[in-house]
Structure 1
């Protein structure tokens, strides 16, 4: 009987249970709807804030890019202007280099011309020195200007170069130098047939007296041309090269330097330092 009552009650209980389940589902759905209703405004607010932030960032980025583009365009234009300026300056520098080269060429030309004028001015002169050259007389040591240097020169030349007759009118000027150890003599004429050239050509016989006997070292004199500073320096270099055996001979004539690289070889004329360096390098 109890079981029969339970079976009679079961449908009712089941109906209540179903109703209770349905009520629970309905309550859950109502809860979800309530949550959506609460989150909706928040989502909309966040979306608007995100859209606003995105718009601001986009605008800021676009402005920054536009500014950078403008700066880059200005820089490119500046680079073009600088390139043009550099090219202009390069042209100016090139012109300056050409002007400097032209100036240097003119300077070298004028130096060569000045050297040539000095050489021509020195050509009439001969320089006498050596241990055999008489010094200033003792009685004239206090008054050296009273010495007749021309007369002393003629006496020395008559003794050492007897083959050449030196007249008083042949000598224009004479003076002592190097503390009286040298005599510089200027002749009236120079060139072929002149007394000056005859004396200079006879210098190779100065080591022997009129009888052909060899002079003692203390009796010897030397006769040289009066060279310009440039020619003197070049001559000393070439003479040192001759001592080293690099050239055969070197001598001067009318202020010019003549070199032979081998005995009886071609005679090479050296006028300046540049030509001297070329000869020493074998470029002739």
Structure 2
């Protein structure tokens, strides 16, 4: 019996030692897991803070760009088509023979003035000057188009800071005005642009890339009759669900998704 008791005692000691070792390992694992959990929690907080900072920076950048674009309007349509005339080559001789090659004599290449001296592009008139490479007067085109289609709206060269063409279809021209507050030419153009319905001139605000995507998405929603209308004011995008309903401003793609509108890329 004493031998059995001794063996049982030793077995209990061995089991107790192994259980103690296992407990130590479990406690060690729990400590490591807790440390990792704390690290994950810290990283999650840091990531959330970084995302918040990035969003704030994006909003500041968006607002800064929006404010810089407020003085600008985009005019397009047939009224903004270039008035440059195509430069035609020399006509073929009546007898059908090949045209003569140009000579090296400058007097043969250029019309002669008094005394046979070559005449400059400026002396040959505006049309020849345009052919010689002078830039198009886009500002003058804008002024004449607006005056012809919106009688009573006073617009002069002094109202325009600069104007130039944009790439793409529909003869787009971007115009930056000297003033953009209430009563300015820019403000008057936006207020009276609905008078241009059915004409060959369209006037729109210059939007940021983010606001342009929101506008395109809401315009698509209008086409599918999800909303009544979409419009912009001072760089912001609004829509109305009904004709006499209230206007809702959409400032982000997230807001667009919250309202269950499809996002157009």
**TM-score scaled to structure 2, two decimals?**
0.73
How many residues end up aligned between the 2 structures? 217
* Equivalent residue number for residue 20 of structure 2: 73
Question: CA contact under 8 A between 2:80 and 2:141: conserved in structure 1?
Answer: no
- Flag the structure with more relative contact order, 1 or 2, with Cα contacts below 8 A and sequence separation at least 6: 2
Name which of 195, 217, 240 aligns with 1:260: 240
Structure 1 equivalent of residue 184 of structure 2: 194
What is the aligned partner in structure 2 of residue 149 from structure 1? Answer: 138
Q: Which residue of 2 aligns with 1:231?
A: 211
Q: Report the CA distance shift for 1:136/1:89 in structure 2 as closer, same or farther (over 3 A).
A: farther
Pairs within 5 Å for 1:36-51: none
Which one of the candidate residues 127, 132, 144 is aligned to 2:74? 127
CA change 1:92–1:136 in 2 (3 A) is farther
**Cα deviation digits, residues 36-58 of structure 1 (max 9, x gap):** xxxxxxxxxxxxxxx9xx96x98
Contact 2:72 2:174 in 1 (8 A): yes
Q: Is the 8 A contact 2:80 2:142 kept in 1?
A: no
**Residue equivalent to 1:169:** 158
Is it true that 1:184 corresponds to 2:179 in the alignment?
A: no
Matched residue, 1:88: 35
What secondary structure, in the 3-state scheme, does the structure 2 residue paired with 1:154 have? helix
Please report the RMSD computed on the Cα atoms of aligned residues, expressed in angstroms: 2.5
Residue 249 of structure 1 pairs with residue 229 of structure 2: yes
Whichever structure has more helix as a proportion of its residues is 1
**Cα offset, 1:88, TM superposition:** 2.1
Q: Deviations over 1:239-262 (max 9, x none)?
A: 111122111111001111121111
Give the SS at the match of 1:266: coil
Instruction: Map 1:9-88; keep pairs closer than 5 Å.
Output: 66-88=13-35
CA drift at 1:182? 1.4
Give 3-state SS (helix, strand or coil) of 2:162's partner: strand
Output the TM-score relative to the length of structure 1.
0.69
Unaligned runs of 5+ in 1: 1-50, 209-214
